Amino acid sequence: MPERRPHRRVYTIAGIAALVMFSFCFAMVPVYNIICRKTGINTSAANGDLLKPMSAEEAAQSPDLSRDVEIQFTSISHMGLPWDFYPQTKSIRVHPGANARVYFYAKNTTDKMMTVQAVPSITPPESISHFHKIECFCFTHQTLAGHASKEMPLVFHIDRNLPKNVRVITLAYTLFPVSTKRY
Amino acid sequence: MTHDQHATHSEEHAFGHSHEHEPPHHHSLKYGFLPWIKGWLFTTNHKDIGSLYMLLSLAMLFYGGAMALLIRLQLFQPGAHFFAPNTYNVLVTVHGLIMVFGVIMPAFVGLANWMIPMMIGAPDMALPRLNNWSFWILPFAFLLLTIALFQAGGGPNFGWTMYAPLSSKYGPPSTDYLIVAIHLMGISSVLGAINIIATITNLRAPGMSWMQMPLFVWTWFITAFLLIGAMPVLAGVVTMLLFDRHFGTSFFDAAGGGDPVMYQHLFWFFGHPEVYIMILPAFGIVSEVIPTFSRKPLFGHAFMVGAVGAIAFLSYVVWGHHMFTAGMAVGTQLYFMYITMLIAVPTGIKVFNWVATMWKGSITFETPMLFAIAFVVLFTIGGLSGLMLSIVPADYQYQDTYFVVAHFHYVLVAGALVAILSAVYYWLPKWTGRFYNERLGQLHFWLTVIGVNVTFFPMHFLGLTGMPRRITDYALQYTGMNMVCTIGAFLFGFAQLIFLYNVLSTVFGKGTRATGHVWEGAHGLEWILSSPPPYHSFSTPPSLTTVVGELNKKFEVEHA
């Protein structure tokens, strides 16, 4: 039949298009990661507002005694990770420009040695670039033997450029297992 | 098969009776059960397959509709009296999936199967065996979905959007049945879409140029491209879910370097074209029905085609408006907000043109026309609430409230479903050779329109006052409105039994005979066939003069 040929053309092209769209979905995984990392468009913080180290002049600032900011701490263990993990201080008030130190408590409740790492999240987004960590247990992996526990320090600095309307900042840590093995 | 005695069209005999008139054996049980079942299982006839799609859709309408009534029953008053919260979540999930993939989509594909070959003067679909396969995959998909309901741990309970990690980490074991069912539905739709594109590109009768295709054919042509672009993405994203669930990958698991928000991006990259897949053919139906009963050609045919194309293009670049609150940079939100609002322009053109078609027409109000007018009015309400949702700061308030539920039920029930009902009433006399009962049709219309509005209009207010969606129990102050919604839902649901009776009695030979032409103001190639059309129509293409003459009447080109 003379019609078969144009049919084959259509279903070949359309079939390939469908396969391309299927692969497109998987191609989006790395592409999405790259785009988000380069542009930061997947977060509600503006691009320039991502976490950054404290500059020398910010470190030299004297505390702004005219106002204080409440910093709240919360923590969770990811998906049933059998660790006890909580802040020793639920919240403190600090003056912008001053340093503060708090402790988090962590205990490995299993029998085996385990390595974990805490990943932070800061809200509201406009405070992210003004929240500087000087020393943090979240910078490195934390390893504890079975049933061992420890107090982990966090030293941070809120700089004076923090927008005036921000009165409460929440810092949430999620504890992730580093070893991929099931526990 | 009935011989048409009221042939109004001079050429009806040439097309209606050119073939031997034996109906195929599987159309009746009198030749035994085996030929019957084999006939329907292996049929490659576009009319048979169209009927099968429509029947599946009708069955699924009552299946998904029963779930909707159970949902409304639970919400009749606060306190969650009737079943457990998890059962409620399962009902909400499966109701959504059935209505989207089991009712609206198969109904449109069924209409496409029946009407596209007849409208373009083709003998059948381009790839009839593929057509058979596209249909017969579907019952198995819905069987799997039904089996999923009875698995230990309960059916899928995370909403039809299947957001990870609710469906990956926390999904019940039955989620895997759902994933396979979605794959089957996706394969079926993509194959169907390929078939429709091949049919429209290659099998148009001589003399039918692209811009002379009826609007139903045009909307389906564009919808088919949306299906090919969108359904494989859904297949991809549920495949990732399956991998995350069983093969240790972390596409959507933050602990392994993945990102649950990426699930939402990928899902809505499918999901937004999907909502236009469910409305563009409805636009096509209404663009056929309104000119017929206004006895005027469609106003602005070329603009209608252009508007459908523009909507289809825009549908691929607006997905972010479903996830404004998921975390997104301000610039990105602004982009999605403005580009979403832009869709109102081509949609506005369409609504304007439908109204302009009716303007100064000599309108009669048969059931299909009533449904078509209801579509224009109610779809506009749904479109406007969509416009409200596109505004970012307002969306923060509306997100995940009953306002969203009201919006998408206005476009999917009062929009897509009402258009399908209009199409069934419009073409049923053509399919069966019999008129449906007009009085019952009108009764069905009024009960449906009243039921739909009583059910879904109060949901706008519920949403604006803050009632969240997908909850099994609610605060006391929402009781009154919820009772109204439930009463409306039962009215709407049981009114569909009239439709069922009307359709079945027409199919089984009650009702007055229809002429080939059926409706006084109808023009187009499907109307030059007898009613019912012969099993194989247009096995020789209609002549150039027939096509040109009929299309000139349809579009009133060059009135000389």
ipTM of model over 0.85: yes
pLDDT for residue B430: 95
Indicate yes or no: CB of A21 within 8 angstroms of CB of B193. Answer: no
Which token pair is A72?
Answer: 């709240």
Active site includes B401? no
Structural domain contains residue B560: no
> Any chain B CB within 8 A of the CB of A183?
no
Distance CA B492, CA B135 (A): 29
Identify the domain containing residue B97 by its residue range: 12-555
Indicate yes or no: CB of B328 within 8 angstroms of CB of A26. Answer: no
CB < 8 Å to A36, chain B: 259
pLDDT for residue A45: 53
Give Cβ neighbours of residue B176 (< 8 Å, ≥ 6 apart).
B242, B245, B246
Active site includes B177? no
Taking chain B (560 residues) in runs of 10, the rounded mean pLDDT of each run is 40 45 78 89 94 97 97 93 93 96 97 96 93 96 96 93 92 95 96 96 91 94 96 96 93 84 94 96 97 94 95 95 88 93 96 95 95 97 96 94 97 96 96 95 97 97 94 94 96 97 93 91 92 89 87 68
Distance CA B289, CA B427 (A): 10
Structural domain contains residue B171: yes
Residue of B nearest to A48 (CA): B329
Indicate yes or no: CB of B327 within 8 angstroms of CB of A42. Answer: yes
Which token pair is B170?
Answer: 């926390």
Structural domain contains residue B473: yes
Name the band, by pLDDT with cuts 50, 70 and 90, for residue A1. very low
Residue pairs between chains A and B whose CB atoms are closer than 8 Å: 101
Which of B202, B237, B330 minimises the CB distance to A46? B330
Measured between alpha carbons, how far is residue B112 from residues B54, B74, B465 in Å?
A: 10, 37, 41
CB < 8 Å to B202, chain A: 3, 6-7, 10
Using CA of residue A121, residue A124, residue A129, residue A133, what is the dihedral sign? Answer: negative
Which of B194, B230, B232 minimises the CB distance to A11? B194
Indicate yes or no: CB of B331 within 8 angstroms of CB of A40. Answer: no
Please name which of B103, B125, B105, B102 lies closest in space to residue B49, comparing C-alpha atoms: B125
Catalytic pick among B4, B12, B124, B244 = B124
CB < 8 Å to A47, chain B: 329
Tokens 């049980």 belong to: B29
Which of B228, B265, B328 minimises the CB distance to A17? B228
Active site includes B402? no
pLDDT for residue B7: 38
Distance CA B10, CA B509 (A): 26
Per the prediction, chain A carries an average pLDDT of: 82
Name the band, by pLDDT with cuts 50, 70 and 90, for residue A144. confident
Active site includes B350? yes
Which of A20, A29, A43 minimises the CB distance to B329? A43
- The nearest CA of chain A is from the CA of B248 a distance in Å of 10
Active site includes B512? no
Distance CA A112, CA A118 (A): 19
pLDDT for residue A42: 66
pLDDT per residue as tens digits for the range A47-60: 445 566 667 776 67
Name the band, by pLDDT with cuts 50, 70 and 90, for residue A4. low
Report the C-alpha dihedral over residues B64, B67, B68, B72, rounded to 10 degrees: 170
For the segment A84-98, the average pLDDT, to the nearest whole number, is 89
Residue of A nearest to B187 (CA): A18
Which A-chain residues 46-75 have CB contacts (< 8 A) with chain B? 46-47
pLDDT for residue B5: 40
Which token pair is B367?
Answer: 């059931």
Please name which of B92, B189, B76 lies closest in space to residue B149, comparing C-alpha atoms: B92
Distance CA A74, CA A122 (A): 10
Indicate yes or no: CB of B255 within 8 angstroms of CB of A14. Answer: no
**A30-34, A124-128, B212-216, B347-351: the lowest-pLDDT one:** A124-128
Q: What phi and psi values does residue A146 have, to the nearest 5 degrees?
A: -55, 130
Residue of A nearest to B227 (CA): A18
The rounded Cα B365 to chain-centroid distance in angstroms is 23
Active site includes B124? yes
CB < 8 Å to A41, chain B: 328-329, 331-332
Instruction: Inform me whether the pLDDT recorded for A76 exceeds 70.
Output: yes
In a mutagenesis test of the A interface, which of B238, B264, B266, B335 is the best target, namely the one with the most A β-carbons within 10 Å?
Answer: B266
What order do you get walking across the sheet with A142-144 strand by strand?
A91-94, A69-77, A168-177, A114-123, A142-144
**CATH number of the structural domain spanning residue B251:** 1.20.210.10
Indicate yes or no: CB of B236 within 8 angstroms of CB of A22. Answer: yes
E strands, B350-416, where?
none
Q: What phi and psi values does residue B399 have, to the nearest 5 degrees?
A: -50, 130
CB < 8 Å to A32, chain B: 259, 262, 265
Q: Does domain A50-177 have CATH number 3.30.470.20?
A: no
CB < 8 Å to B201, chain A: 6, 10
pLDDT for residue B178: 96
Active site includes B188? yes
In a mutagenesis test of the B interface, which of A28, A49, A78, A176 is the best target, namely the one with the most B β-carbons within 10 Å?
Answer: A28
Indicate yes or no: CB of B198 within 8 angstroms of CB of A14. Answer: yes
Indicate yes or no: CB of B197 within 8 angstroms of CB of A10. Answer: yes
Structural domain contains residue B6: no
The number of folded domains in chain B is: 1
Active site includes B422? no
In a mutagenesis test of the A interface, which of B190, B335, B538 is the best target, namely the one with the most A β-carbons within 10 Å?
Answer: B190
pLDDT for residue B196: 96
Collapsed DSSP state (helix, strand, coil) of residue A64: coil
Residue B405 CA neighbour count, 13 Å, CB half: 28
Indicate yes or no: CB of A25 within 8 angstroms of CB of B262. Answer: no
Domains in chain A: boundaries = 1-42, 50-177
pLDDT per residue as tens digits for the range B269-300: 999 999 999 999 999 999 999 999 999 999 99
Structural domain contains residue B312: yes
- The nearest CA of chain B is from the CA of A11 a distance in Å of 6
Active site includes B325? no
Residue of B nearest to A14 (CA): B194
Structural domain contains residue B522: yes
Structural domain contains residue B5: no
Tokens 């990259």 belong to: B269
CB < 8 Å to B331, chain A: 41
Going by the DSSP 8-state scheme, the letter that residue B298 receives in this structure is P
Residue of A nearest to B250 (CA): A29
pLDDT for residue B173: 94
Catalytic pick among B46, B272, B523, B554 = B272
Centre a 10 Å sphere on the Cβ of residue A53 and count the other Cβ atoms it contains.
9
- The nearest CA of chain A is from the CA of B370 a distance in Å of 38
Residue of B nearest to A32 (CA): B262
Helices (H) and strands (E) in chain B, counts: 20, 0
Going by the DSSP 8-state scheme, the letter that residue B541 receives in this structure is P
Please name which of B26, B38, B40, B49 lies closest in space to residue B188, comparing C-alpha atoms: B49
Using CA of residue B26, residue B27, residue B32, residue B36, what is the dihedral sign? Answer: positive
Side chain identity at residue B172, one-letter code: P
Which of B194, B251, B254 minimises the CB distance to A14? B194
Active site includes B274? yes
Name the band, by pLDDT with cuts 50, 70 and 90, for residue A44. low
Name the band, by pLDDT with cuts 50, 70 and 90, for residue A111. confident
Instruction: Inform me whether the pLDDT recorded for A79 exceeds 90.
Output: no
> Any chain B CB within 8 A of the CB of A14?
yes
Active site includes B160? yes
Indicate yes or no: CB of A10 within 8 angstroms of CB of B126. Answer: yes
pLDDT for residue B193: 96
Which of B190, B256, B329 minimises the CB distance to A44? B329
Active site includes B18? no
